[in-house]
Amino acid sequence: MRLLIDNARVWDGSGAAPFPGKVLVEDNRIAAVVPQAETLADAAGAERLDAAGKFLMPGMVEGHAHLSFVDTPRGTALGELPPEDHTLMAMDAGRKLLGAGFTSAVSGAAAKIRLDVALRDAIEQGVVDGPRLLAASPELTVTGGLGDGRRLHLDLQSFGVAVDGPDEVRKMARLCLREGVDTVKLNISGDIGTESALSDVAVMTDAEVAAGVEAAHTIDRRVAAHARASAAVKRAVQHGVDIIYHCDFADEEALDMLEGVKDRIFTGPAFSLIANRLEAIRGDNTPRGRVISDRLKALYEASCGVHVEMRKRGIRILVGGDYGFADNPQGNNARDLALFVTHFGFSPSEALQAATRTGGEAMRRGHELGLVKPGYLADLLLVDGDPLADIRVLQDRKRFALIMKDGVRYRPCEGTPHVRRLH
Ligand SMILES: [Zn+2]
């Protein structure tokens, strides 16, 4: 396959200004990128796509995906889903994400141990359409922590697996690694709805975190952490966690620690869930509604403040918004870029870089993913509009004249949130 994308406005992901140019794709790689005025002898005989007036950029990377969180109102509804049905629903979420312009995804956790793994492999083999995926484990959590759906009288499953003590963490991490996950997820802090483990406490102990990290790092796989509490952020840094999500309540010392390891770690706010949930709960005047609303407001304020500061310190922040909940459904992931601009002080170019170049690095493929550059994988978006002038154009899937992943061409389907292969 040889395709010349001709006369586009090329934004290459480096942060440099866009320029009129042409891009030659050969099979699944970018073969050449040259200014429009230059002749490209290599392009002789290639199929030509007229991209006049359109914006060409790298495919986006979702940095906190939960493709098996299928928009249910409760976590325990995920536990009730049989694996067969659940797998098909995760496939559907993958197609939606690709249709939203995301050609890669770093999973933030799966709802069952093999869901991400099976989906990743099926996508890689071309059996199903979806983004390149790094598969995660379910959320390893302590008893009573975020994702422990059990009650004393009911053995309910949610999106977490409860493990207590370093031996149990190690054993479950190794089991997930045996089953093929790329990332082990640890819930170091709690969250707003988890009464015995709220957002501002670090409930997973030092020894438990260390055991999970050791299990993954021994075989060169990674650990991601749910860390809202400042103490949880510090614990994650101290024990070598690779991706530290949320960081909402990070204090000055925690920020210094993050900055000290900024070339090694990635962070991601997953802010859309907070913003959408706060919107959804407005008007709920029940006592419980008011409690949750107050906690969400505190989280919202803290997250905004901390990410303004993290951006200034040059800490790598991934686009990714915890999509997959009823009030934050799959497929709207490009909304995150706009939130980075409106809430965290990013310029549109910086938000785009977070979604492309930084995302490629987080996929552990910064040498071949996330830029429009010769030799890089042909993951490209051709956009009818200018995201640098209005970042929200990326939320309108009708604007994608072309979504290319690994040299394969897709178009968003009309009337459904899916994609179809062009050939
Ligand atoms: Zn999440």
For the chain, the structural domain boundaries read 2-59+367-421, 60-362
Residue 350 CA, ligand 1 centroid: distance in Å: 23
Position 23, amino acid: V
pLDDT number for residue 42: 87
pLDDT tens digit string along 381-402?
999 999 999 999 999 999 999 9
What DSSP state is assigned to residue 152?
T
What is the rounded distance in angstroms from the CA atom of residue 189 to the CA atom of residue 199? 6
Distance 323 CA to ligand 1 centre (A): 8
pLDDT of 9: 98
* Tokens 């007229």 belong to residue: 50
CA 271–ligand 1 middle distance (angstroms)? 10
CATH of region 2-59+367-421, choose from 3.40.50.2000, 2.30.40.10, 3.40.605.10, 3.40.50.300:
2.30.40.10
Go through the chain and tell me how many residues it has. 423
Which DSSP letter does residue 13 get? S
Cα-to-centroid distance, 321 and ligand 1 (Å): 8
DSSP category for residue 317: B
Distance 108 CA to ligand 1 centre (A): 5
**Do residues 144 and 197 make contact, with C-beta atoms less than 8 angstroms apart?**
yes
CA of 35 to the centre of ligand 1 (A): 41
Tokens representing residue 244 in the block = 């530290």
404 CA distance to ligand 1 middle (Å): 27
Q: Report the separation in Å between the CA atom of 242 and the middle of ligand 1, taken as the mean of its atom positions.
A: 15
d(CA 220, CA 225): 17
Q: How far is the CA of 343 from the centre of ligand 1 (A)?
A: 19
Angle of helix 165-178 relative to helix 206-218, nearest 10 degrees, comes to 30
Q: 121 and 94 in contact (C-beta within 8 Å)?
A: no
Euclidean distance between CA atoms 90 and 71, whole angstroms: 11
In 3D space, the residue among 222, 83, 200, 196 whose CA is nearest the CA of residue 141 turns out to be 196
Q: Between the CA of residue 416 and those of 300, 331, 345, 421, what are the distances in Å?
A: 32, 11, 33, 14
Residues lower than pLDDT 70 in the chain: none
- CB atoms under 10 Å from CB of 377, counted, come to 24
How close is the Cα of 136 to the center of ligand 1, in Å? 11
Tens digits of per-residue pLDDT, 190-207? 999 998 999 999 999 999
**Separation of alpha carbons 227 and 346, rounded Å:** 22
What's the whole-model pTM score? 0.97
Q: Are 172 and 163 in contact (CB under 8 A)?
A: yes
Q: What is the pLDDT of residue 355?
A: 98
Which two three-digit tokens encode residue 248? Answer: 């909402």
Residue 290, SS3 per DSSP: helix
- Strand-pairing partners, residue 246, are 227
How much is the pLDDT for 419?
A: 85
Mention every residue, 6+ apart, whose C-beta is less than 8 A from residue 21: 8, 9, 10, 33, 34, 35, 36, 56
Helix (H) or strand (E) holding 25: strand 19-26
Q: Are 2-59+367-421 and 60-362 equal in CATH topology?
A: no
Q: Separation of 226 CA from ligand 1 center, angstroms?
A: 7
**Domain at 60-362, CATH homologous superfamily:** Metal-dependent hydrolases (3.20.20.140)
Give the pLDDT confidence score for residue 415 in this predicted structure.
Answer: 80
pLDDT of residue 416: 80
Ligand 1 mean position, distance from CA 159 (Å)? 10
Number of alpha carbons in the 13 Å side-chain half-sphere of residue 88: 4
H or E element at residue 10: strand 2-10
Taking alpha carbons only, the member of 305, 262, 243, 295 closest to residue 107 is 243
